[in-house]
Every structure is written in C-alpha cells, then in structure tokens.
C-alpha cells in the first residue's frame, strides 16, 4: 500500500521545475540545480539532463541502498557493488509510458544469492514499491 499523508513522514525533498523539459530543476536547499532539456533522440538539443536520467539516478541509488540493507541482514558482503538503471520513455495506447531496467553488479556474490538479494530489495525499495503499487498524488494550484 502506498504511503499516505497520515503515515509518519521522515523527509520531504522539494524541487521546482521551470519550463518543463526545456528548463531547469532546482531544490529548495540549493543542493540540486540543473538544466533539463529534451534528449536529441526526442528532437531536443540535448544540452542538459532529462527526467529519465534523473529518475534513473534516484531509482538506482534507492535500489542500491535497499540491496545493502538486505545484504546486511543476510550477512552478504557486497563491497564494490553498483546498480545501473536504464529508464526509457516511449509511446503507448494511452500516450507515453516509462519502463525501467535495473542491473546490479555484485562482485564475489554467487548468482543465486545475488538474485535473492535483488528480489528482496525489490520488495522493500520505496521506488520499486511505487512502480508496483502507485503513489499518492495530490494536485493544487499555487
């Protein structure tokens, strides 16, 4: 079940986008401030990052942290590990859709053990849960 406003919230990131996919995104604390632009593959200039790269960055970081939690519980050493996310946008019958592919590199971990870690991480990762269960969204005019 997606987290609700009535649950205990631990942190809220605040980012503002200006000019959509051809503009800028910046956080209220100044730690994120980047130019976004359409990739050349979508007809843009490709001068900045794009929403797919930003989502890939956040999903891979969160999923890697989830693997680390599971590995710690299972007493599996994942030193030198990484997660690569590939996030694609495409057209479907409803307009546009997103797909994600996560590849974990777990040096020294047996493939069967690695797969179990990934499966368990996929169950606890908030981003993975969001892709399965949805996310509560509220819309306001400011």
CA distance 56 to 22: 19
- Domain containing residue 24: CATH number: 2.20.25.10
Beta bridge partners of residue 89, listed in sequence order: 98
Is 135 found in the same domain as 102?
Answer: yes
Instruction: Find the domain containing 88 and state its range.
Output: 50-141
Name the residue among 18, 44, 55 with its Cα closest to residue 33. 18
Provide the number of structural domains found in the chain: 2
Is 115 found in the same domain as 60?
Answer: yes
pLDDT at 6: 72
- Domain containing residue 94: CATH number: 3.30.300.20
Please state the pTM of the whole predicted model: 0.91
Indicate whether 62 pLDDT > 70.
Answer: yes
Indicate whether 104 pLDDT > 70.
Answer: yes
Indicate whether 1 pLDDT > 70.
Answer: no
Q: CA 41, 42, 47: angle at the middle one, nearest 5? A: 75
Is 97 found in the same domain as 70?
Answer: yes
């Amino acid at each position: 079940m997606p987290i609700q406003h009535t649950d205990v919230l631990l942190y809220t990131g605040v980012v503002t986008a200006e000019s959509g996919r051809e503009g800028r995104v910046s956080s209220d604390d100044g730690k994120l401030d980047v130019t976004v632009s359409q990739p050349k593959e979508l007809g843009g200039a490709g001068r900045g990052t794009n929403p797919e790269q930003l989502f890939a960055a956040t999903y891979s970081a969160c999923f890697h942290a989830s693997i680390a939690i599971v590995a710690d519980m299972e007493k599996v050493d994942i030193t030198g590990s990484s997660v690569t996310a590939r996030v694609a946008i495409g057209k479907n019958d409803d307009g546009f859709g997103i797909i994600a592919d996560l590849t974990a590199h777990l040096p020294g971990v047996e493939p069967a053990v690695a797969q179990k870690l990934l499966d368990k991480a996929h169950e606890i990762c908030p981003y993975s849960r969001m892709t399965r269960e949805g996310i509560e969204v509220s819309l306001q005019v400011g």
